[in-house]
Amino acid sequence: MSATAKPHNKKLATFAWALWDWAEQPYPTLMQTFIFPVYLTGAVASGINHADEALGWSTAIAGLLLALIAPVLGRRSDENGRRKFWMLVNTAILILVTALSFFVEPRPEYFLFGLVLYGIGSVIQESAFINYYAMLKSVTTESNIGRISGYAWGMGYIGGIVLLVLSLIGFVLPKGHYWFGLTGENSINIRTIFVLAAAWILLFTIPLMIWVPEIPKKNTGKSVSVLDSYRQLFGQLKTLRNQAPETFKFLISSAIYRDGLAGVFTFGAVLGTLAFGFNTTSIIFYGIAANIVAAIGAAIGGRLDDVLGSRTVILISLIGLILSGSAIFIFAGNGQSTFWIFGLLLTLFVGPAQASSRTFVARFTPHGREGEVFGLYQTTGRAVSFLSGTMWAVSISLANTFVGGHKNSVYGIWGIIAILIAGTILLSRVHPKPQVLES
């Protein structure tokens, strides 16, 4: 690992960095959204009441844990010059968690084990993203940072399409004649997808390992303990507020709306399955379409980011998400066509909002504090994922209490919409082009 990239290796470093969005895609696509949570709340949780609520509480607990560790991880990787190292360590753990999901058998006694793996994987993935996002500035230029961020996100969605197609033709559609001579007994066909997902992450992380350079260690003259890192957290927030006040305000506002974005991904496929009656085959077909639409949205959003600015792209996307989410509930009585139309509109707006959010932070973060600020970005954003999980669970619980009947999962969408509305209001108060004082 060299400290700096040679000029002729810059393009390779940029490509390898962007490719990691493709590399880690099995986790958000298969493990967080379209296959593992559907398998967990369906086949595994057969006979267990309110499995959808339990998934929400698992997400909430994972978010609280991430809130405790994210700022320290970012700060220490900045100071110790081990940004890439710790990202690769987290990736290795993510590979292990993904592979271990194979051992979650389709019986109720494995439900808790599955929830634990789901929560751990969420924390580890977001920990890896702290340092991954912090690398963005080092592999781009001021003129292409928005485009590269959007294209990387789009590349991830394309990877999701490939993964879902492979899952469909190899392990779902053949009906007893699956790849590798597998049968459907004990859901071995579905569980094998998790092993292949782990292998995918490993294979496509190799280019980043080779071509993206490590950052140099800061010569601070003294080592900082983990405990000291926590003690310095409040000072870190104070200096960021003084040095880059609008970036600080953006971290706070994005904490809300990005949690809503996380909720769309986390509970989208579960909503389609439990509220609209999608089976495994249907939800994978939907996932393929969703990733195509999301990839287009991310690529277009990346282009618009460089022209209109990050905040404008995010605001447009959030308004689109709020309207689409509301339509899902309002027209739920029309059946699966509602989810196909308005669910796909949701995915169109998610990609630009996500990609432009990390671009905003990268653009307006003081030089040398990227890992630190992205640690806070994770802390104030995905770290409060207990909000989406809690609001999802509470909304369904209230429906179960006051509305009655079954299949009240559709009410969970209102918890997500409330978070998006609050985040939109806060973001509107952030300056679109803040001034940043260099340290």
Residue 228, domain member (yes or no)? no
Local confidence band at 33 (pLDDT 50, 70, 90 cut-offs): confident
CA atoms of 270 and 409, how far apart (whole Å): 8
Average pLDDT, the chain: 81
- CA nearest neighbour of 248 among 68, 404, 85, 431: 431
Model pLDDT, residue 226: 61
Residue 172, domain member (yes or no)? yes
Residue 250, domain member (yes or no)? yes
Res. 273: pLDDT tops 90: no
Residue 222, domain member (yes or no)? no
CA atoms of 228 and 236, how far apart (whole Å): 12
Query: Which position has the higher pLDDT, 146 or 94?
Result: 94
Mean pLDDT of the region 275-298: 83
pLDDT tens figures, 218-241: 665 555 566 666 666 677 677 777
Local confidence band at 14 (pLDDT 50, 70, 90 cut-offs): confident
pTM above 0.75, yes or no: no
As a 3-state breakdown, the chain gives helix, strand, coil percent values, each rounded to 5, of 80, 0, 20
Local confidence band at 5 (pLDDT 50, 70, 90 cut-offs): very low
Res. 8: pLDDT tops 50: no
Cα angle value 363/367/370 (rounded, 5°): 70
Residue 167, domain member (yes or no)? yes
Model pLDDT, residue 218: 65
CA atoms of 59 and 36, how far apart (whole Å): 14
Residue 437, domain member (yes or no)? no
Residue 3, domain member (yes or no)? no
Query: How many structural domains is the chain composed of?
Result: 1
Beta-carbon contacts of 8 under 8 Å, excluding residues fewer than 6 positions away, are none
Residue 91 sits in a domain whose CATH number is 1.20.1250.20
Model pLDDT, residue 71: 61
Mean pLDDT of the region 160-185: 86
User: What DSSP string describes 295-307?
Assistant: HHHHHHHHHHHHH
